[in-house]
Structure 1
């Protein structure tokens, strides 16, 4: 395969993945949140390298907190 053609395929594949991720985030936010949690949790386990755990913290979605008196346990919603 020719070098420039392979590069073109890689750029198109990356654009398709980014586009699919944006659509999924917009149309299916709960599924996207669960997917991010499912990917991040195994990477956060003890014994993993520090760089991998830092990357997992970036992948993980932000916590959903309640009002000012909420502890953030997500038990009410």
Structure 2
């Protein structure tokens, strides 16, 4: 069976965001299966898209992103 073609995306994240990503991957992992940080990112993308499709408040996400932008610039 051919391998799924995947796109690569490189993003810059803060040390705090990397720590959150690492902690989340660790918490989702089990003795039978380790979860990678990439898998956590893919899960987050799917979860956000699903929530937006179900009518989640765009303003909530925009506020989070705006807070990150202000934090990054500060």
Q: TM-score, normalised by structure 1?
A: 0.39
The structure with more radius of gyration: 1
